[in-house]
Structure formats: C-alpha cells, structure tokens
C-alpha cells in the first residue's frame, strides 16, 4: 500500500514538476561561504536551498597507520545533529550518518583529492592528520551532495598549523600553507522515484525514493566513488543514464566553489 | 605579570562584539544564533513532543531537555571528540536550570521540549552564549515566557572585575594571580539569577562586584536579544 505522500509526489512527477516548481534535473540555489569557524584550520558553509551544512577541518600531527607508513591520515566524520531535523536524535551516529560520512570519505579518498604522500613529516613516525567533520545544520533534503561539497570547500579553505619543537601542531602559529590538493571530487546523487530521475531532492522526495545513486565525480570526468542506496533496483542503462546526469551536474556544482 | 589593560583593549565592563539572529534553522520549531567575539552558539528548539523513553515522562508537566555540544572543529587546539562527555552533560543540566524559571510547561504533560545547542567556534563563554541563544530560540518557538534570560561570563583577573572573559584571559592563571571565571545568567525583569558557577579564586567582596557587573551586562544583552526577535517578528532591522 503506497503512502498518501508518495502518491502525491508521484502525481507531481508524472507532470514533470516538483513541489517547489522545479523540473526534475533542476538544482536549487547553491551558495558556498568560507571561513565560518575561526577555530578550525579550514571551514565552510554550503546552502542548497533551505538545506545548510557546515564542515570544518582540523589538522594535527599523529603517527601514521601501520599499513600506510608513507601516507598522511585522513578521517571524515558526519554528525546529523538533532538541531537539523526532528528526525535526528542525539547519541551515537545513526546508520544514515555513518553512510553519509563514508560516502563523502570515499569520494575524497579514492579521488586522491589530498596528496597524502605530501603529508608525511617522517615516514613511519610522524604525519599530518586531516580530520573533516561535517555537521548538518538544517535538513531540507540532499544532505549527501551538500556534505560532499562542504567537505571539499573546507579542505580548500584550510591552512596548515605550525609545528613546535615537540613535533606537535602549534595552533597559535598558523601558516599560509594550503593542503596539497590534486583534484576536486564533487558528489551528485541522482534519485529514481517511480519512472522519474531527479537531483537535489526535497525532504518529501527523499522520504519516498525507490533508488538513488551517489556519484563522486572528478574534474576530468572520471568517477571516484559510487554508492547505490534504496530498496529499488536499477538496470545497467538506468545506471549509465544516472551517471551521465551526475557528470553534467557536477561540473555545474563545482563552479559554485568560486575558488 | 600585571594586567593593566585587557589583551583586546576592551573596558572592564565591555563585551566583545555581539551578533544575534532568530530563526536561523527553519526546520526547527524555534532557533537562534548568538555570537560574542569568536564564540558562536546555535540553538534549536523542537517540541513540545512526546518524551521517549517513556519512564522519563512526567504526567504533571512537560520536561525541558538541553543538550550542549561543541562541534568537533570548534576547539582552540586539538579536535574535540564528538559524543560529548561529563562536561557537556553538566552544562546541559545547568542550562536547563538557567532556562526553566521563565517557562511553564505544565500545559504539556508527558512531553519534552528539546533544546540543542551547537557551537561551531569557541573562545570561552560558550555555556553563556548557548543559554542566551536558547532563550531566544524558545521565544522564537512561541513559548510563553515570564521573563527573558541572558547569560555572560564575568570574572576576575588580578584586581580587575571583568565582563566576558576570553580564552586568553581565562587561561592567564598563575598561583599568585588568581583568575576567577564566573558564568552567570539573569532574568532582567525580576533581576534574579538563574545560573551561577565559579572556577578560580575570589573574595566575597569581589564576588558581589562581579555579580553586580554580570547583572548589568545581561540587561544589555537582553536588549540585543529583543532586537533580534523584533527583527524577525516586527519587521524591524535592529540587528543589521
């Protein structure tokens, strides 16, 4: 039995229109604001329509992981804070929050966005460790794309802290040095609801989708990470179609970074 | 080290620059942002809604539940581990006590009013910024309030009783030169205090001076809170 809400969403989509008047492949207005937290080494706020996500980067000096002695550390964490939606609860991260963090993490990690070899201070002993924390402030749909863009913007904004004589980060002596960034992966999530493909869903659409595909797109048009979500199934042609939409929209979204 | 002048050149009773805004999180039932210097607090109110777990419900009144949370990148130095700790739990509790005197939740039995306070950047005075933002968010959510609540950290650095200590001032601790950090919250109409904590060392006389200063400063903060509420509801532009 289909919910009233879903029937309503489908009725609109059949007319090729959405609750806020957009066409299926239209994105809402996107703004990126840098340096929103003076405490972080880099930070940014992304607004997609009413959805707001902030991200902050902290950089410290740590031991490398035993299996990657020649690479700096990267960690991505997402907090679906209960301030952002009546659906989010306090406490340990939900499945949804974990998936969000991991999808953003893979986009940044697998695209080799950060040159992690450049973060080594002394191989096997000391490396720079980059932590990206993404926080949902107001959820009106499409947290995946907003989170991915905010994470990338915060990385672009980041400046390395100083290093003191004890090989610890010196946060009172920030440098002008940026993180070694090579590519700019931008995730686009394409949703399938009924027979319609759409991007940038509203909450009502997100609650009633059949399948979704998040595609982390690199500047050169290649793909860095994929995640299919939802209970619905997809054909190969459908996936190809969704990837095409994602690549086209990602170039547009990347422009919004303004840097 | 003598401290004749404050690091940032402020007068003893002067706060850092303040920005206050109401309605910053449209998804919430009420919300506000309060920024004082480099400390920024977001507050979002959800409710009244059914309280879970059920054993916490009170059939006589609604319950106020406040959660204080420093975001992982909001600290001065190292990353703050998410998930909160004892400090956050305690601050949540004193925040509830600071706000409860102005609310009457008896109309909402078995319900909870959730207040979430999140800080994206911090430079001391975080619990006070959180309480001040939360009071505005409760007003924005439409709760009837007997009075407003504003909070500020007052303190003593050497012989000076100061308003709105920064991190640098708070940390300026040496055994001989006691620093006292005293977060307070006041209700402007009744003039009564709803939050009082103290860390450091202070004499009875200085405490009284500090509290008097805190009350005065809170009154000024209330004017800013009211202007922010008017900006949303009366079409004014007091905060711009």
Domain interval for residue A155: 10-255
Q: What's the structural domain count of chain A?
A: 1
Is residue A1 situated within a structural domain? no
Given B38, B82, B118, which is nearest A83 (Cβ)? B118
H-helix or E-strand spanning residue A133? strand A126-138
Q: What is the CATH number of the domain that holds B204?
A: 3.30.230.70
Q: Do B74 and A39 touch (CB under 8 A)?
A: yes
pLDDT mean values, one per 10 residues, chain A (259 residues): 90 94 97 97 98 98 95 95 95 91 96 96 96 98 98 98 94 94 97 97 95 96 95 95 97 96
Q: Where does the pLDDT of residue B2 fall: very low under 50, low under 70, confident under 90, or very high at 90 and above?
A: low
Is residue B1 situated within a structural domain? no
Tell me the shortest Cα–Cα distance from B28 to chain A, in angstroms: 7
Q: Do B27 and A139 touch (CB under 8 A)?
A: yes
pTM as predicted: 0.91
Q: Which residue of B has its CA nearest to A162?
A: B77
| Predicted-assembly ipTM surpassing the 0.95 threshold | no
B17 touches chain A (CB under 8 A): no
The answer, yes or no, to whether residue B70 has pLDDT greater than 70, is yes
Is residue A100 situated within a structural domain? yes
A90 touches chain B (CB under 8 A): yes
User: What residues 99-128 of chain B have any CB closer than 8 A to a CB of chain A?
Assistant: 114, 116, 118, 120-123
CA distance A213 to A165: 47
Q: What's the structural domain count of chain B?
A: 1
Q: What is the CATH number of the domain that holds A226?
A: 3.30.230.70
Is residue A4 situated within a structural domain? no
Which ranges in A53-210 belong to alpha helices (H)?
Answer: 95-110, 143-157, 203-206
CA distance A154 to A103: 17
Is residue B239 situated within a structural domain? no
Q: Which residue of A has its CA nearest to B44?
A: A83
Q: Where does the pLDDT of residue B239 fall: very low under 50, low under 70, confident under 90, or very high at 90 and above?
A: very low
Residues B127-164: pLDDT tens digits?
999 999 999 999 999 999 999 999 999 999 888 899 99
Q: Do A39 and B78 touch (CB under 8 A)?
A: no
Residue closest to A127 by CA, chosen among A79, A82, A160, A89? A160
Q: B140: which 2 tokens?
A: 């924005």
Residues A55-113: pLDDT tens digits?
999 999 999 999 999 999 999 999 999 999 999 999 888 899 999 999 999 999 999 99
CA distance B155 to B177: 13
Q: Where does the pLDDT of residue B240 fall: very low under 50, low under 70, confident under 90, or very high at 90 and above?
A: very low
CA distance A246 to A213: 9
Q: Do B121 and A57 touch (CB under 8 A)?
A: no
Cβ atoms of B72 and A58 closer than 8 Å: yes
Domain interval for residue B102: 18-232
């Amino acid at each position: 039995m289909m919910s009233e809400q879903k029937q309503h969403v489908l009725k609109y989509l059949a007319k090729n229109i959405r609750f806020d008047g957009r066409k299926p492949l239209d994105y809402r207005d996107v703004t990126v604001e840098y340096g929103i937290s003076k405490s972080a080494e880099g930070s940014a706020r992304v607004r997609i329509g009413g959805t707001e996500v902030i991200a902050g980067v902290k950089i410290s000096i740590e031991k490398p992981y035993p299996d990657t002695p020649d690479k700096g550390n990267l960690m991505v964490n997402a907090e679906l804070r209960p301030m952002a939606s009546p659906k989010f609860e306090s406490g340990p991260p939900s499945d949804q929050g974990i998936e969000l963090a991991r999808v953003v993490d893979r986009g940044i990690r697998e695209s080799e966005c950060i040159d992690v070899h450049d973060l080594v201070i002394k191989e096997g002993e000391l490396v720079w460790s980059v932590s990206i924390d993404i926080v949902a402030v107001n959820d009106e749909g499409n947290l995946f794309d907003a989170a991915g863009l905010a994470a990338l913007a915060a990385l672009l904004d980041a400046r390395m802290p100083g290093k003191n004589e004890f090989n610890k980060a010196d946060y009172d002596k920030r440098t002008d040095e940026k993180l070694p960034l090579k590519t700019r992966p931008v995730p686009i999530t394409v949703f399938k609801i009924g027979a319609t493909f759409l991007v940038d869903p509203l909450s009502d659409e997100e609650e009633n989708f059949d399948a979704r595909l998040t595609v982390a797109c690199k500047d050169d048009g290649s793909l860095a990470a994929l995640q299919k979500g939802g209970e619905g199934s997809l054909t190969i042609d459908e996936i190809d179609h969704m990837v095409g939409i994602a690549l086209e929209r990602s170039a547009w979204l990347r422009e919004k970074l303004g840097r | 080290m003598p401290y004749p002048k404050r690091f940032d050149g402020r007068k003893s009773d002067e706060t850092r620059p303040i920005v206050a805004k109401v309605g910053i999180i449209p998804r919430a039932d009420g919300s506000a942002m309060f920024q004082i210097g480099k400390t920024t607090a977001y507050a979002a109110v959800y409710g009244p809604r059914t309280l879970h777990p059920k054993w916490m419900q009170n059939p006589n009144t609604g319950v106020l539940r406040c959660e204080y949370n420093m975001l992982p990148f909001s600290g001065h130095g190292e990353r703050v581990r998410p998930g909160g700790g004892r400090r956050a739990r305690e601050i949540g509790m004193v925040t509830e006590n600071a706000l409860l005197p102005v609310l009457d939740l008896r109309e909402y039995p078995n319900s909870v009013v959730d207040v979430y306070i999140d800080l994206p950047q911090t430079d001391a005075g975080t619990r006070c910024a959180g309480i001040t933002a939360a009071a505005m968010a409760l007003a924005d959510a439409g709760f009837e309030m007997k009075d407003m609540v504003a909070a500020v950290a007052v303190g003593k650095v050497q012989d000076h009783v100061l308003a709105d200590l920064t991190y640098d001032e708070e940390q300026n601790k040496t055994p001989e030169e006691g620093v006292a950090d005293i977060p307070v919250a006041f209700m402007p109409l009744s003039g009564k205090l709803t939050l009082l904590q103290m860390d450091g060392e202070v004499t009875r006389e200085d405490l009284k001076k500090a509290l008097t200063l805190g009350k005065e400063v809170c009154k000024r903060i209330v004017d800013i809170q009211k202007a922010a509420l008017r900006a949303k509801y009366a079409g004014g532009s007091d905060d711009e």
